[in-house]
Amino acid sequence: MYANELGKRKPRSRIGLLRALRRGVEALYDDPTRAAAVVLDRMDIKPDHARRACREFVSKKVIPRDLSINPHAFATTLDAMRHTNLIKDQSPQAELHACIDVQFLDATGLASLPHHPR
């Protein structure tokens, strides 16, 4: 089942998932060492690897603390989707709605997404 289908059937689940993701990202940024301990509890990897991965996630902002979408990364994603014909309509608004369901943003407190319709 695709994420947008799940969201339409169970919007509260989607909102809960995004809130949990945001709390997890906040915890990662607040204390990468403690976040590594959580990783080690869930995965069978070497402790040094987990600590380094968490530090690098924070230093390289792999997942932005506020879950914002990097415009360059978004543009690259759109280019890839155009290249594979996942997006056929070339208008910017069509591209946005082909990639992102923005209906949940107000409910989750993540309304910082560019082009969010009010």
Alpha-carbon span 118 to 28, nearest angstrom: 31
At residue 15, φ and ψ (nearest 5 deg) are -65, -45
pLDDT class for 96, splitting at 50, 70, 90?
low
Radius of gyration from C-alpha coordinates of the chain: 17
| pLDDT score at 23 | 94
Per-residue tokens: 24: 């997890």
Distance in angstroms (rounded) separating the CA atoms of residues 15 and 109: 10
Q: Is residue 61 located within the same domain as residue 23?
A: yes
- pLDDT for residue 99 is more than 80: no
Residue ranges making up the domain that contains 98: 68-113
pTM for the whole structure? 0.59
Q: What mean pLDDT do residues 31-46 have?
A: 96
* pLDDT attached to residue 9: 66
Task: Name the DSSP letter for residue 70.
Answer: P
Q: Do residues 5 and 33 share a domain?
A: yes
The total number of structural domains that make up the chain:
2
Residues 35 and 46 in one domain: yes
Residues 39 and 85 in one domain: no
Instruction: Give the C-alpha distances (Å, rounded to integers) separating 2 from 5, 9, 56.
Output: 5, 11, 30
Is position 92 within any domain?
A: yes
Q: Is the pLDDT of residue 109 over 90?
A: no
Collapsed DSSP state (helix, strand, coil) of residue 71: helix
Statement to judge: residues 55 and 75 lie in one domain: no
**In this predicted model, what pLDDT tens digit does every residue of 39-80 receive, in sequence order?**
999 999 999 999 999 999 999 998 889 888 778 887 888 788
3 and 60 housed in the same domain: yes
Q: Residue 101: name the closest of 118, 84, 116 by CA.
A: 116
Residues 61 and 17 in one domain: yes
Quote the mean pLDDT of the chain.
78
The span from the CA of 68 to the CA of 70, in Å, is 6
Do 51 and 74 belong to one domain? no
**Residue 74 confidence (pLDDT):** 78
In a domain, 118, yes or no: no
